[in-house]
Amino acid sequence: MSYGDRANMEHIPEGVLHAYLDGQLADAEAAGAAEGGRERQEIELHLAECAECRGRLEEAGRLRDRADAILSASGPVEVSPPPFEEIVARSRVQATRRRVFRLNRVTALGWAATIVLAVGVGWIARGSLAFREAVAPEASSVAADTATPMLIQAADEELANEVAGTPTEDEARLRQSELAKSRIAAGVEAPVAAPAEVAAQPEPAVERKFAEADAREREEAQRLKEVAEADEPAPPPAAPVPQRIAVAGETRGVAAGRRDSIRRAREAGDSLALREQARAEVVAQQVTVVGAVAAADSLAMQDIAFAEATWLVVDQTTAREYLDGPIATIQGLPTLSYAVGTIEGRRAVRITQRLESGAALEVIQQEVTARPADAFRRRVEALEAAPAVALDSVASVSVKWGDYVITARAELAPDSLRALLARIRE
């Protein structure tokens, strides 16, 4: 551009005037500061000669000031950033969830398909179809409804005392290898880089560039959407991940859905309505048992309790110190992570282990004896009455273990979970 060249006198384009006013010429030309400085000189030379461009510059300045004033009229927002450490802790929790999510996502389909082949059931799956969209919708629903018994018999506390052995070296190696895989998997999702810069174009090409930019924008939006979706803390319909926070939401959804299908079934005079009714009750009971409170009308409160359960990933020693006691793990399974947090205001440790199938098993250990709150005591009482429940394909079984309540969650039949809980060791 040769605004300063009298022989080739072009007026300064409006975009360049704005870049000049904004002090962004170097950036605008995507060149070094020297280039920007040269353009600045050319512009100033031209402005000295050209009254019309001086007028346009003034007008651009007024427009800019006016737009800034309008934007600032939208109110200065008082910003109160939380401590950076909090953000770091949250990012660790999210990273762990994603690792668990990926582990499970890979195996979810396989599991569902296997169970469908083995059992093969039709009607009862319909109730849960509405809640499953992404991964093998029909398969996982059928699995959910057929693979898990309605209610499991009381878990024998003595089972929990049948402890054995210490982790072998093989187990330690397995764990290392899993962690390495997780890190590689984490890398797969990483490349959400900023869009590449495009070289500067002369003004006439700008409109064409806009069309190209639109296409890029759409691609980028789609890509980011996918990433954002993958980032979600385990959308229950896509993969049944054993996570407390996600399960609370799912539970409510499933319960509501079941009621709806019961209503539909009744309207249709379907003879299977009773079975659905039974399921709805199981789900409701699951809410009671796994959650903090016995009263059904405290559902919302319980959801809040779950939502506030933030887990911080720590090492085993820290977890032990945190609970001031032994840490329960299922013998023979590699441990992926330990996390500490609170549930219902009580200290808890979450141990994520890897099942042979590759799916994740979540073991949540909560203290019982210290200052038992009413809600928690009710939960313990409920546990003693009906210590195991199932929620779709993610089953949850709780037992008392010394001074702790141990809850195991995984995409397994509750019987299998009980068998696993029998292998609890310190």
Partner 1 sequence: MRVDWAEVYRTTFADLVRFLHRKVWDPDRAHDLAQEAFVRALNHEPDNPRAWLFTVAGNLARDEARAAIRRKRHLTLIKTEAAEQAVADPAQELEHEQRMRAVREALARLSERDRDVLLLWGAGLSYGEIAAESGLAPGAIGTTLARARRRLVEAYDALEERDVVRR
Buried b (16+ CB within 10 A) or exposed e, 377-396: ebbeebbeebbbbbbbbbbb
Q: CB of residue 193 vs partner 1: minimum separation in angstroms?
A: 6
| Span interacting with partner 1, options 173-181, 224-232, 245-253, 393-401, rule CB under 8 A | 224-232
Binding status of residue 173 toward partner 1 by CB under 8 A: no
In terms of phi and psi (left: phi > 0; alpha: psi -120 to 50; beta: otherwise), the region of 361 is: beta
Query: Residue count at the site for partner 1 (CB under 8 A)?
Result: 66
Rounded CA separation 229/223 (Å): 10
The answer to whether the CB of 283 falls within 8 A of the CB of 255 is yes
354 to 413, contacts with partner 1 by CB under 8 A? Answer: none
> Residue 398 is inside which H or E element, if any?
strand 394-401
**Which is closer to partner 1, CB of 103 or CB of 375?**
103
Selected binder of partner 1 within 7, 34, 51, 79 (CB under 8 A): 79
Instruction: Report which residue type is found at 152.
Output: I
Q: What sign has the CA pseudo-torsion 116, 122, 127, 130?
A: positive
**Which is closer to partner 1, CB of 37 or CB of 122?**
37
Selected binder of partner 1 within 60, 147, 323, 360 (CB under 8 A): 60
Binding status of residue 203 toward partner 1 by CB under 8 A: yes
In terms of phi and psi (left: phi > 0; alpha: psi -120 to 50; beta: otherwise), the region of 355 is: beta
Selected binder of partner 1 within 7, 8, 51, 78 (CB under 8 A): 78
**Which is closer to partner 1, CB of 7 or CB of 193?**
193
3-state secondary structure of 229: helix
x/- track of binding to partner 1 for residues 18-37 (CB under 8 A): xx--x-x--xxxx-------
Main-chain dihedrals φ then ψ at residue 360, nearest 5 degrees: -90, 145
**Site of tokens 């032994």:** 326
**How many Å separate Cα 377 from the centre of its chain?**
30
x/- track of binding to partner 1 for residues 2-21 (CB under 8 A): -----------xxxxxxx--
Q: CB of residue 86 vs partner 1: minimum separation in angstroms?
A: 8
Binding status of residue 64 toward partner 1 by CB under 8 A: yes
Binding status of residue 211 toward partner 1 by CB under 8 A: no
Q: Residue 343 is encoded by which pair of tokens?
A: 């549930």
Residue 122 to residues 108, 138, 223, 263, 307, Cα–Cα distance (Å): 20, 10, 36, 19, 35
Q: CB of residue 119 vs partner 1: minimum separation in angstroms?
A: 37
| Span interacting with partner 1, options 139-147, 214-222, 364-372, 387-395, rule CB under 8 A | 214-222
Binding status of residue 304 toward partner 1 by CB under 8 A: no
Binding region for partner 1 (CB under 8 A): 13-19, 22, 24, 27-30, 60, 63-64, 66-68, 70-71, 73-82, 84, 87-88, 90-91, 94-95, 98, 186, 189-190, 192-195, 197-203, 206, 209-210, 213-214, 216-217, 220-221, 224-225, 228, 231
